[in-house]
Amino acid sequence: MDGILKAILDFSNWLWGIPMLVILVGGSLFLTIRLGFFQFVYFPFAMKETFGKIFHKQEGEGTVTPFQAATAALASTIGASNIVGVPVAIAFGGPGAVFWMWVVALIGCAAKFAEIVLGIRYREKNEEGEYVGGPMYYLRGIKGPVGKALSWIFAFFLMIELVPSIATQSLSAVQTAGTLNIPKIVIALLLVVLVGLVVFGGLKRIGQFTEKLVPFMALLYLIGGLAIIISNIGNLPHAFGLIFKHAFTPAAAVGGFGGAMVAQAIRWGTARGVYSNEAGMGTAPIAHSGAITDHPVRQAMWGIFEIVVDTLIVCTVTALVVLVTGLYETIPGTEAASMPARAFQALLGDGLGGAIVTISIFLFVLSTITVIAWYGKTQAEFLFGPMFGNVMVVVYLAAIIAGAYLDLEFIYQFLDILLASIIIPNMIGLVALSGEVVDLKKEFFNNPQLYKRG
């Protein structure tokens, strides 16, 4: 048995080395070039259409507002990993990992843009009259049996992957709450009740829930993080200097930090950039396919908004908290996940600081589980019908309880393999259907009535 587990772990580590980075980063770079570097050329327009129109009423057909669709997608990407994943990347890749996280995020805009464009392009109405879409729909746009096979593979493995994913999210919440002596069962049952109430309410309720929760939870964490940065403002120029310097030169070992080569900075920064915003994973278009919009390209601008908020703002604040306090130099890499909590506690005290981190992680986990459980429900409905969708929601709720108590070491070894089985068919689809994305981009920006509307 140990030999099988080691083989699985070795394969997972190999898969998430060069192969997956080539697929994700290479595919996103291909889309960036084919789309004419649109995320840079049209960045001001994207910000105007998103930050500038958060509360505007959008014309067109759909189930939820563009902002609700964006916050639903953000709810699954702004998770506990934004707090604990970034310091781990710095611990093993050095400060330069942050630079490569930014680079991958900017390149990943192309993949996220393409996903959302295709999600709107191929969306359909379900039996409840709600718009649904995502890779399972647009992959069928690839002619022949290949498209149908990729569609089924994506839907099936996403439905399965979310069971252990939800369990690990639950584990993050109960372990953090444990530092305040809150019993596991209390946190687990609270998550079950809240998630169940929202998910069974359908897409509209999820949109109403996330548009209120996501801004609140992000602001709570960002205000605390900025307070730490401001209290250490004298170290800020040095922190940025470390990021840019060690993106291209090795970082020497010091204190609890073991040092890092440039290759490690690129590897950890790239992985952090990919994981933080889910560009290329195919989950975002599931949420965006229900948005009210007059054109796929207009809604796809919210994909850039998500990457700005998730990676360029939230992850950057976490990185700066770790760097300006110098914690990455004193805390060993094996304890890197505790760096943000220790920074908050150092500034605000064990009680208040610990409470802010605990509440933030609980809210991040709640929002993530809520949305990904709904993602799983839509996959089950696509594959086996509405009744099975409800069955899977019950399974996901059970996974919350299981995650609080089970030893997840065995499950963790399968997570990355399952995730790869989702990303690979989606990236194949994005590249194969990139011509349609280019055509829709030209249609939008060559039409003054669309481009200049609003």
* Contacts with 140 (C-beta within 8 Å, 6 or more apart), sequence order: 122, 147, 148, 151
* Partners of 260 in beta bridges: 251
Which residues share a beta bridge with 291? 64
User: Does residue 180 or residue 283 have the better pLDDT?
Assistant: 283
The better pLDDT of the pair 322, 138 is held by: 138
Share of the chain above pLDDT 90, in %: 22
Q: Among candidates 438, 426, 440, which has minimal Cα distance to 115?
A: 426
CATH number of the domain encompassing residue 217: 1.10.4160
Tokens of 454: 């609003």
Q: Residue 362: pLDDT above 70?
A: yes
pLDDT computed for residue 95 by the predictor: 84
Of 26-40, 96-110, 120-134, 257-271, the poorest mean pLDDT is in: 257-271
pLDDT value at residue 150: 95
Stretch among 81-85, 176-180, 223-227, 302-306 having the lowest mean pLDDT = 176-180
Report which of residues 17 and 123 the model is more confident about: 123
**Beta-carbon contacts of residue 126 (< 8 Å; ≥ 6 apart):** 132, 381, 386
pLDDT digits (tens, 9 = 90+) for 96-136: 888 988 988 899 999 999 999 999 999 988 777 778 889 99
Instruction: Using the Cα atoms of residue 427, residue 116, residue 12 and residue 18 in order, give the sign of their dihedral.
Output: positive
pLDDT band at 265 (very low <50, low <70, confident <90, very high): confident
Residue 199 has a pLDDT of: 80
CA distances from 368 to 166, 210, 314, 410 (A): 8, 10, 15, 22
Q: What average pLDDT does range 337-347 have in this prediction?
A: 76
Burial 65-78 (b: 16+ CB within 10 A, else e): bbbbbbbbbbbbbb
| pLDDT exceeds 80 at position 151 | yes
Tokens of 262: 């440039």
Spell out the residues 6+ positions from residue 368 whose beta carbon is closer than 8 angstroms to its own.
75, 76, 78, 79, 80, 169
Cβ 127 vs Cβ 147: under 8 Å:
no
Mean pLDDT value across residues 300-311: 86
Which residue range is the domain that position 197 belongs to? 2-451
Mean predicted confidence (pLDDT) in 300-323: 88
Residues 6+ apart with CB under 8 A from 58: 65, 66, 291, 292, 293, 294, 298
Domain count, the chain: 1
Give the pLDDT confidence of 196-219 residue by residue, as tens digits.
888 877 666 777 777 777 778 778
Pairing of strands 131-132, 124-125: antiparallel
Mean pLDDT, all residues of the chain: 81
Cα 67 from Cα 14, distance rounded (Å): 38
CA distances from 335 to 41, 229, 342, 362 (A): 41, 21, 11, 20
Which residue, 93, 121, 128, 27, is CA-closest to 243? Answer: 93
Give the tens place of pLDDT for each residue, 394-428: 999 999 988 877 655 555 556 777 888 898 999 99
Would you call 123 helix, strand, or coil by DSSP? coil
Distance CA(336)–CA(423), nearest Å, equals 27
Is 137's pLDDT higher than 60? Answer: yes
The whole-number pLDDT of residue 412 equals 56
